[in-house]
Amino acid sequence: MKRYSTMLLLLLITAFGWMGCKKEDIPIDEDGLLITTRAECYVSNFELLGSDFQTVRTKNAVIDTVACTVNVTVFFGTDLKNLFPQFTLVTDAKLDPKITGFTDFSDLANPRTYTVISGNRQVRKTYKVIVTVQPR
Partner 1 sequence: MNAKFLGYILWFFPLCLSMVACKDDKYTVPQPKNELGNDCIKRTLGPNVAGLKIEFAYAMALPATKGKLVSAQVEASIQGDAATYLENKSYYTNGSGEDVGIPIGDPSVNEGAVTKVTFTKDTNAVTLRYYYVIPPAAKGKEVKFTFSAKSSNGETVSYAMGPYTISNMDMVLDLPVKNADACYISIADMAVYNETDAAKNAAKIDLVYLYRSISGISFNHALVSPAADTTYLPGVVLPTGVNRDTKIRKTWNLRDQHLARLQYGIYIDDVDFQQLDMKGSPDYAINLKSEAGAWVETADGKYRAYIYMNKVDDGKKSATISMKRYTLK
Q: Please identify which residue in 11, 62, 86, 104 interacts with partner 1, judged by CB under 8 A.
A: 104
The dihedrals phi and psi of 102, each to the nearest 5 degrees, come to -65, 140
Q: Between 50 and 119, whose beta carbon lies closer to partner 1?
A: 50
The answer to whether residue 100 forms part of the interface with partner 1 (CB under 8 A) is no
Give the separation between CA 65 and CA 118, rounded to whole angstroms: 14
Shortest Cβ 8–partner 1 spacing (Å):
10
Is the bond leading into 97 cis (omega within 30 degrees of zero)? yes
Contacts with partner 1, residue ranges (CB under 8 A): 2-3, 5-7, 9-10, 50-54, 75-77, 79, 81-82, 104, 134-136
